């Protein structure tokens, strides 16, 4: 039984193959008729008129199972072709089909059977001509069998090439789909990180101001108005920043992402935190402009430190240190004291420090964060600052 998993042929595919086999056998059958004595069809040539076509019809019928039982069908048809010139085409088709499996032993057995059977064909027809030379009787079937085998091998090679091309195309499609999925995942992570960075800080400050309003009964009317204005302004800025981040998702090719903040925006960050009630001090010795990636990452370190201080230690003192020179490292540190007042534990997203660690790793730096001996918290980052990648500030 065929174990190669050959696909089942449709009715039209079977029909034209059997028609081709019949077409090959008809000229041979006619050539035998030309060699027979005139008027013998009704007497001594009855086999040629009746038996030969019946054998050929049986061989063509058996060919319908050649893909399921290739060796058996090919061997039976090759042997039967000895008694039918019209079945020669069926024998060659069976041999061609067997050759597509590329099994030399099976092919050799059927070729030998076909060539041997061809030597007995003359005995079935009372030809009036002299028998052909032995070499010719061997050469013709060997040549035809060789053509059938070569055709079958070529067909299988073509099928293998097509399968290979199809597999490569499928593999390329899968690889492309995997790359697209990876790109989408990376973009989702980037957008999630940006949303956390730009929103968590604003919302934390708003939440801290709202907490002060809720817990402080000794605030003056002016202090309350200041806090309410701070909440309104922080909410407005959070909405604007959210709109900017989500804008990159729109299918607008002309829309560009807003410029990302770098070290020169840290004073604005500190001013916002002070207006929200944090006691923040900033010390910086940086006099040059670092590369955009390093400057942006340094800004995010300060932003994350202020966000965590506002969430976990409201009214604490926060000290920010930024120093570094080209050719060395950029050092950023955010240290806060213990919380001055007890607060409800805020919800933890788990993405802030994780996303910041990703940023710093991609920039080739290191991140460290831990509690201090006075129950405060410190967040520090070291980022490489190549000497060739900066410009002097004006």
Most confident of the following: 96-100, 205-209, 252-256 = 96-100
Structure tokens at 246: 């989500």
Most confident of the following: 44-53, 211-220, 243-252, 381-390 = 381-390
pLDDT of residue 331: 93
Q: Give the count of alpha carbons within 13 A of 303, CB side only.
A: 29
Most confident of the following: 216-230, 324-338, 353-367 = 324-338
pLDDT of residue 379: 92
pLDDT of residue 12: 80
Q: Treating both helix axes as pointing N-terminal to C-terminal, what angle do 134-215 and 221-247 enclose, rounded to 10 degrees? A: 170
The domains found in the chain, sorted by start residue, are 11-131 (no CATH), 179-250+262-392 (3.30.565.10)
Confidence of residue 2 (pLDDT cuts 50, 70, 90): very low
Q: Treating both helix axes as pointing N-terminal to C-terminal, what angle do 134-215 and 266-275 enclose, rounded to 10 degrees? A: 40
Q: Is the pTM of this model over 0.75?
A: no
CA distance 67 to 100: 10
pLDDT in tens, 370-390: 898 888 899 999 999 887 644
Q: How far is CA 166 from CA 154, 162, 163, in A?
A: 18, 6, 5
Does position 336 have pLDDT exceeding 80, yes or no? yes
pLDDT in tens, 262-316: 888 889 888 888 877 778 999 998 888 888 888 888 888 998 888 888 778 777 8
């Amino acid at each position: 039984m065929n174990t190669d998993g050959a696909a089942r042929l449709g009715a039209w595919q079977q029909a034209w193959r059997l028609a081709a086999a019949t077409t090959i056998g008809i000229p041979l059958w006619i050539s035998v008729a030309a060699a027979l004595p005139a008027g013998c069809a009704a007497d001594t040539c009855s086999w040629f008129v009746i038996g030969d076509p019946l054998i050929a019809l049986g061989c063509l019928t058996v060919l319908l199972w050649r893909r399921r039982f290739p060796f058996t069908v090919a061997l039976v048809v090759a042997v039967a072709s000895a008694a039918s010139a019209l079945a020669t085409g069926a024998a060659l088709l069976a041999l061609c089909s067997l050759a597509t499996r590329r099994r030399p032993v099976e092919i050799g057995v059927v070729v030998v059977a076909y060539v041997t059977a061809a030597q007995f064909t003359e005995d079935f027809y009372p030809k009036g001509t002299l028998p052909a030379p032995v070499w010719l009787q061997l050469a013709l079937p060997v040549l035809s069998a060789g053509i059938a085998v070569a055709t079958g091998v070529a067909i299988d090679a073509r099928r293998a090439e097509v399968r290979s091309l199809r597999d490569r195309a499928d593999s390329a499609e899968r690889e492309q789909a995997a790359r697209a999925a990876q790109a989408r995942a990376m973009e989702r992570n980037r957008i999630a990180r940006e949303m956390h960075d730009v929103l968590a800080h604003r919302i934390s400050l708003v939440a801290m101001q709202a907490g002060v309003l809720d817990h402080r009964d000794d605030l003056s009317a002016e202090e309350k108005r200041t806090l309410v204005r701070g909440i309104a302004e922080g909410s407005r800025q959070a909405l604007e920043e959210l709109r900017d981040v989500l804008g990159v998702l729109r299918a607008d090719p002309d829309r560009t992402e807003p410029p990302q903040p770098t070290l020169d925006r840290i004073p604005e960050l500190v001013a916002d935190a002070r207006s929200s009630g944090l006691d923040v001090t900033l010390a910086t010795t940086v006099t040059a402009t670092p590369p955009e990636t390093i400057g942006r990452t340094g800004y995010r370190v300060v932003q994350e430190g202020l966000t965590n201080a506002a969430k976990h230690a409201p009214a604490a003192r926060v000290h920010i240190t930024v120093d570094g020179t080209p050719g060395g490292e950029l050092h950023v540190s955010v240290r806060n004291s213990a919380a001055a007042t007890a607060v409800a534990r805020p919800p933890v997203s788990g993405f802030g420090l994780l996303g910041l660690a990703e940023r710093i790793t991609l920039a080739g730096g290191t991140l460290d964060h831990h509690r201090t001996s006075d129950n405060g918290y410190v967040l520090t980052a070291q980022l490489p600052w190549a000497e060739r990648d900066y410009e002097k500030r004006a």
